Structure 1
Amino acid sequence: MARHTPPRPVDVEKLFPELAPLRRETVRLHPRAGEPTCRDSSVGGPLLWPAEEAWPLCPEHEGSPMVPVVQIYRAAVPDIVPFPEGCDLLQVLWCPRKHGGGRWVVPEVRWREAGAVGEVLSAPPSPAEYWENYVPRPCVVHPERVTEYPHWDLDDDLWDELEFRFLDLDQETGWDHQSHLSTAPGTKLVGYPGWSQDPRWPDCAVCGRRMEHLLTVESTEGDALSRRTWTPVEDIDVRYEGPGLVLGDLGGVYLFECHTCPGRPFAYRFDCP
C-alpha cells in the first residue's frame, strides 16, 4: 500500500518566502514490517549480495559480521536519489554492537549493479553478539517523495530574521516550524537530515568539500508532536510495526557522501534528542 503524507497545514512558502529557495525533496521510506526478499527494496531485509564477495565485517570487533539495514533499488525511488553511473542498487549495513566514543553503530555503504550479481549469497554470516535494538526488523518500504524545509540548517542571519515569526505562528495556530513544517521525520533518502541538535555536516577527507546527505535511519517515524502532521493518511489511527530500532535515546544515524571524489567516500553522524 502506498503512503501519502498530508500537505503541510499552512502554506510555508507564503508565510516564509525566505524558505522557498531552500526547499529540498526527500524520499520517505515508510518501512513497515513484512517479508521482503533480496529482490525487494527493504529496511532490515535480505540483501542481493554476490556469493563470491566477502561479507562486511566490523573493523573494531575482531571481524564481527555486519547486518543489513537498508537496500534500495533505483527503480523504486524517484530520480532525486543520486545513484552513481552504472549502479542501480544501494546497500547499507552496520555493526550492531556498541562502539567506543559515543558511537552506536559502524556503517558500511555499497553501490552496485543488480544485473551484474550472479549467484546470490543465501546465508550471510550473523554476529555472535549484538545489541538487539540495533538490528532492524525486516520491513518492506513505501517510498514517497515529499518537500521539506530547513530548521536547524538555517544560517544564523536567516534564523535571526525568522525566529520570532516562527514563534508567532506557533502561538497563533499551534503549528511549530520544527516539528510540523520543516524536515520530514523517519528513515529517508536525501533532503535534510532530521537534526534534533545543531548540525554537524562532515567534510570529505579527500577533497575537503562538504558532503551531501544520503540517508537518515531513525528510531521512529516521528515523536508525539511531529506525528500530528507527518503521519501518512493511510496510517492515521492505525497501529503498525516498523523496524523496531532504538538508537541512543530514540535518535538517528545520518549517512553522508561526496559526489565529487571517486568511489563516493562516505561519513556518518549520530544525533539524539
Structure 2
Amino acid sequence: MTRTTPPRPLDVEGLFPELAAYRGTTTRLHPRPGSPDVSSSSVGGPLLWPADEPWPVCTEPHARGTGRRPTDIHRERQVLAHAWDRDPDSGPTEQERALLVELSRRHRVAGVADTDPLPMIGVAQLYRRDLPDLPAGPDGCDLLQVFWCPFDRHGRTGHGMSLDLRWRRSSEVAEVLAVPPSPEVVGSTGYVPEPCVLHPEQVATYPFAGLLPKDLCARIDAWEEALEEEVLEGEALEGEALEEEAEGAADADAPEPPAYQYDLSIPPGWRVGGFASWHLTDPAPMNCRACEAPMDLLLTIDSREWDGGSGSWKPLEERDLPTHRCALPTEVTVGRWGQLNIFACPADPSHPHRWSIQ
C-alpha cells in the first residue's frame, strides 16, 4: 500500500514567496513491518551481500561482551505487539510479563576482548531505482548498504556511534551470503531494527530556517510568534466562555499552530536527500574532509516517523491508526529519540561520509 503525505497545513510559499528559490525534494521512505528480500530496498532486511566478501566488523576498542541477545529483543517486541493488539487496555498477561522479564536479561559472552572483530548490524539497503533522491554512488554503484556497531563508546568522546556505508553495483553480486554473521549481544535495543519494507514518496522540502537568509528567517520567526499569540488569545476567550458552563472545561488538547520547522519544511522520519534538520544544535558546517566541498544530506535515520503533536506528516492511509502502532515501525532509536543525518560528498561519492545526531 502506498503512503501519502497530507497537504501542508498552510501554503508556505504563499506566505513567503522567496522560499520558492530554496525548494528541494526529499524521498520519505515510509518503512513499515514486512518481509523484504535481498532484491528489495529495506530497513533491517536481508542484504544483497556477496558470499565471498568479508562482512563489516567493528574493531575499535570498547567493551562488547555484555548486552542483550538480538533474538530476545525481536521476541520481546513480538510478545508486546501481540499483547497490545489483543487487549490495549490490559496489556500483557502475567505469563507474558514473566516471559518479558526473562527476555530482557543481559548476558555475558565469555572470552571476548575489547578489540575482537564484532559483526556490525545491517541497518538498511537502498536501491537507487526505488528512490529518486538517492544520488549515484561511486563508479556507477546503484546500491547503498548501511551498517553500524550495536554498541556506543566510539571516537574521542567515548560515546559516539560507528557507521560503515558501502556502495556496490547490484548486478555484480553473483552468490549471496546465505547466513550473515550477527553479534551475540548488543549494547542497546535501539540498534536492532525490525525488518521493514519501504513505500517511497517524494515530497517538497525547504531548508532549516537557521540556514536561510537572516531577513527571511527573522520574518518566519515573527510570523510564528504572531500565530502563537493569536492561538493563546483564542484559547483565553474560549476558556472564559466555557467557564460559565463548566469550570475548567477549556480544551487542554487543542492542536498547536503550524510551525515552519515541524509542519512546513522538513519531514520527520526516515528519508533520502533534502535538507538536514538542526533543531538540537546550531547548524554546523559539513564539509568533506577529503576535498572541503560542502556535503549534501544523503540519508536521515529517525527514531520516529512523526511526533505525537499535530501529526501533520502522518500519511493519509494511516490517519485513523493509533500513533504507537505506526510511528515507531523500525524500532530503531537514535540517541534520545533523535535522528541521525548522514552526509555525502557531491564532488566524489567515494569520499568518507560524515554524520550528525539531532
**Does the alignment pair 1:54 with 2:54?**
yes
**Does the alignment pair 1:158 with 2:219?**
no
Q: Give the Å deviation of 1:158.
A: 3.0
Superposition map of 1:117-128 within 5 A: 117-128=173-184
Cα distance in 1 between the residues matched to 2:355 and 2:265: 22
**Does the alignment pair 1:105 with 2:189?**
no
Farther off after superposition, 47-56 or 261-270? 261-270
Secondary structure of 1:230's partner?
Answer: coil
Distance 1:155 1:107, change over 3 A: farther
Task: Indicate if the aligned counterparts of 1:72 and 1:91 stay in contact, CA closer than 8 A.
Answer: yes
Superposition map of 1:6-85 within 5 A: 6-61=6-61, 62=115, 63-78=117-132, 80-84=133-137, 85=139
TM-score by length of 2: 0.71
Uncovered stretches (5+) of structure 2, i.e. residues with no partner: 62-114, 232-256
Q: Which structure has the greater CA radius of gyration?
A: 2
One-letter amino acid matched to 2:295: M
Structure-2 residue corresponding to 1:187: 270
**Does the alignment pair 1:223 with 2:223?**
no
One-letter amino acid matched to 1:222: W
Q: Give the Å deviation of 1:108.
A: 1.0
Q: Give the Å deviation of 1:102.
A: 6.3
Q: Give the Å deviation of 1:103.
A: 4.2
Distance 1:262 1:24, change over 3 A: closer
Uncovered stretches (5+) of structure 1, i.e. residues with no partner: none
Q: Of 260, 280, 284, which residue of structure 2 is paired with 1:200? A: 284
Over residues 119-172 of structure 1, what are the superposed CA-to-partner deviations in whole Å (9 max), with x where a residue is unaligned?
Answer: 111111111231221111110110000011123433444322331023224444
One-letter amino acid matched to 1:122: A
One-letter amino acid matched to 2:136: F
Structure-2 residue corresponding to 1:253: 340
Q: Give the Å deviation of 1:262.
A: 6.0
Structure-2 residue corresponding to 1:235: 318
Task: Indicate if the aligned counterparts of 2:220 and 2:260 stay in contact, CA closer than 8 A.
Answer: no
Farther off after superposition, 42-51 or 155-164? 155-164
Task: Indicate if the aligned counterparts of 1:189 and 1:215 stay in contact, CA closer than 8 A.
Answer: yes
Alpha carbon RMSD of aligned pairs, Å? 1.8
Cα distance in 2 between the residues matched to 1:166 and 1:17: 16
Q: Which contiguous aligned blocks of 4+ residues in structure 1 show a shift greater than 4 angstroms?
A: 170-173
Distance 1:17 1:105, change over 3 A: same
Structure 1 or 2: larger helix share?
2
Task: Indicate if the aligned counterparts of 2:288 and 2:351 stay in contact, CA closer than 8 A.
Answer: no
Structure-2 residue corresponding to 1:2: 2
Seq. identity, % = 44
Structure-2 residue corresponding to 1:137: 194
TM-score by length of 1: 0.92
Task: Indicate if the aligned counterparts of 1:184 and 1:194 stay in contact, CA closer than 8 A.
Answer: no
Q: Give the Å deviation of 1:54.
A: 1.0
Task: Indicate if the aligned counterparts of 2:290 and 2:351 stay in contact, CA closer than 8 A.
Answer: no
Task: Indicate if the aligned counterparts of 1:185 and 1:226 stay in contact, CA closer than 8 A.
Answer: no
Secondary structure of 1:268's partner?
Answer: strand
One-letter amino acid matched to 2:218: D
Cα distance in 1 between the residues matched to 2:32 and 2:318: 11
Task: Indicate if the aligned counterparts of 1:104 and 1:247 stay in contact, CA closer than 8 A.
Answer: no
